[in-house]
Amino acid sequence: MLNTVYWFKRWFLSTNHKDIGTMYFMFSIWSGLMGTGLSIIIRMELAMPGKMLEDGQLYNLVVTAHGLVMIFFLVMPMMIGGFGNWLIPLMLKIPDMAFARMNNLSFWLLMGSMILLLGSTYVDGGAGTGWTIYPPLSSIGYHSGRAVDFLIFSLHAGGVSSILASINFLITTALMRTGVMLILRSSMLSWCLGVTSFLLVVAMPVLAGGLTMLLFDRHFNTTFFDPVGLGDPILFIHLFWFFGHPE
């Protein structure tokens, strides 16, 4: 019993940057394997004439899930969360990150985001919108079920996770250096993660705003992206890539 409590506190409630970095790596590797499996399905479908899956919506679902898993659950957690948590405190010669509990929270929000994404594939045929979720394909007229709503909430949770992690890295690299570690003496990785974290703090709320507008279009009769109500579907593309390129 005591051993179980120890491991629970070690891995689920840990605020140590090495433990959290290791959890990020384990999560990223698992996500990468899942994304690779989805990629193999795409290649098998395209490798020969005719259909293997016999369902266009299922193929679109696989393409959507592959893109989102690789971007949000492999690249970002590994590059920022994994390497950042392991290397930044070592390079700045500090014992831990600035906000240790927030560091833990950002990881578990990412896990919740993955659960919502996986849940969306089992609801109403899944979300076959492509990983960019462009309207009108993601609007209520073309995806009338709840799958796109699950996807939107998944990206909201992932966005909150990224913002919390970015605030943590930004404050750590800017304000947690030791007396001898001047900012000009900091390693290039510290500079890169600090700048990247600033860009994510600026860009992530724009994606959240675009997704919220899409959610309102789907359920609250707004027309942000509907030309019939004088909306503009290209606006979502601008909002998405204002986030996507810095990210």
| Tens digit of each residue's pLDDT (9 = 90 or more) over 94-147 | 888 989 899 999 999 999 999 999 999 999 888 999 999 999 999 998 998 899
Cα–Cα distance between 130 and 22 in angstroms, integer? 31
Structure tokens at 219: 């359920």
- What share of the chain in percent tops pLDDT 70? 95
- What share of the chain in percent tops pLDDT 90? 67
Position 8 scores a pLDDT of 61
- Cβ atoms of residues 204 and 245 within 8 Å: no
Cα–Cα distance between 120 and 146 in angstroms, integer? 8
Secondary structure string (H, E, C) spanning the chain:
CHHHHHHHHHHCCCCCHHHHHHHHHHHHHHHHHHHHHHHHHHHHHHCCCCCCCCCHHHHHHHHHHHHHHHHHHHHHHHHHHHHHHHHHHHHHCCCCCCCHHHHHHHHHHHHHHHHHHHHHCCCCCCCCCCCCCCCCCCCCCCCCCCHHHHHHHHHHHHHHHHHHHHHHHHHHHHHCCCCCCCHHHCCHHHHHHHHHHHHHHHHHHHHHHHHHHHHHHHHCCCCCCCHHHCCCHHHHHHHHHHHHCCC
- Cβ atoms of residues 120 and 154 within 8 Å: yes
Domain ranges in the chain are 1-245
Position 54 scores a pLDDT of 83
pLDDT 10s digits, 19-42: 899 999 999 999 999 999 999 999
pLDDT 10s digits, 208-222: 999 999 999 999 999
Position 14 scores a pLDDT of 78
Q: What is the pTM of this model?
A: 0.90
Q: Is the domain defined by 1-245 classed in CATH 3.40.50.12280?
A: no
